[in-house]
Amino acid sequence: MKTLLSNRKFLQLTIILAFFSILSLGGCSKYSDEVQINLANLKKTKACSGCNLVGIELMNFDLKNADLRGANLTGANLRRSDLSEANLTDTNMADADLMGVNLANAKLFDTNLSGAKLSYANINAADINGVILKNAHLNNSIVVNSKIKDSDMTGTNLYNADFTGTEIILDTLRGAVLCETVMPSGHTENRGCSTVIWQTR
């Protein structure tokens, strides 16, 4: 009887250990099958137009000239990745972590960047048209010699951002948080410093 019980406990323990072994080897991915396939294709081809890439983690990755038109990158982590010259038309990047990314010469048409973290980003010479930047964080970002048109920057944190030489209708910045912000003309704007403290972290 004791031997039977011991064998049963041993079998139960073996099953439990096997289950956790599968988990540790990645048998249970945090991405859906669809996202895994799309992510693999993106890494291989730098193209994933209209793809579901929600919540992916792809830090420090070379996506120069990538075609991400219409892709869903909501909540994605692309910290310090190179997205220079990428086509981000109609791309949804709401709440994405884009700290330190390179968006130089990127095409941002009707892109959703609401709530995105773009601190320390390089957005030089980018074409920004119809972009939603509501409550986004662009503190310490460089947006030099870019073109910004018909975009929503309500509540956008622009602490210490540099817009030198950028073509922008100043009404676009209405509602944005301006503190130590270098304006297109080169002068520094500080009218929002009283509200910027909690947003810089």
DSSP H or E segment with residue 167:
strand 167-168
Q: What is d(CA 173, CA 176) in angstroms, rounded to the nearest whole number?
A: 5
Confidence of residue 200 (pLDDT cuts 50, 70, 90): very low
Q: Is there a single domain that holds both residue 44 and residue 23?
A: no
Determine which of 25-29, 66-70, 135-139 has the lowest per-residue pLDDT on average.
25-29
Q: Is there a single domain that holds both residue 126 and residue 198?
A: yes
pLDDT above 90: residue 128: yes
Q: Is there a single domain that holds both residue 149 and residue 62?
A: yes
Q: Is there a single domain that holds both residue 15 and residue 112?
A: no
Confidence of residue 22 (pLDDT cuts 50, 70, 90): very low
Q: Is there a single domain that holds both residue 25 and residue 101?
A: no
DSSP-derived 3-state class of residue 182: strand
Q: Which residue has the tokens 């957005």?
A: 123
Confidence of residue 5 (pLDDT cuts 50, 70, 90): very low
Q: Is there a single domain that holds both residue 6 and residue 64?
A: no
pLDDT tens-place string over residues 43-63: 999 999 999 999 999 999 999
61: containing domain? 36-201
Q: What is the pLDDT of residue 151?
A: 94
- CATH number reported for the structural domain that contains residue 130 in this entry: 2.160.20.80
Sign of CA dihedral 133, 176, 166, 62: negative
Q: Is there a single domain that holds both residue 81 and residue 15?
A: no
DSSP designation for 38: H
Asked whether 190 and 180 are in contact (CB, 8 A), the reply is yes
Residues 6+ away with beta carbon under 8 Å from 69: 49, 50, 87, 88, 89, 90, 91
* Domains contained in the chain, number: 2
Q: Is there a single domain that holds both residue 104 and residue 130?
A: yes
Q: Is there a single domain that holds both residue 18 and residue 96?
A: no
Backbone φ and ψ of 135, nearest 5°: 60, 20
Q: What is the pTM of this model?
A: 0.82
* Average pLDDT of the segment spanning 27-31: 67
Q: Is there a single domain that holds both residue 22 and residue 50?
A: no
How far is the CA of 165 from the CAs of 41, 80, 94, 105, in angstroms?
A: 37, 24, 27, 14
Q: Is there a single domain that holds both residue 9 and residue 89?
A: no
Q: Is there a single domain that holds both residue 8 and residue 84?
A: no
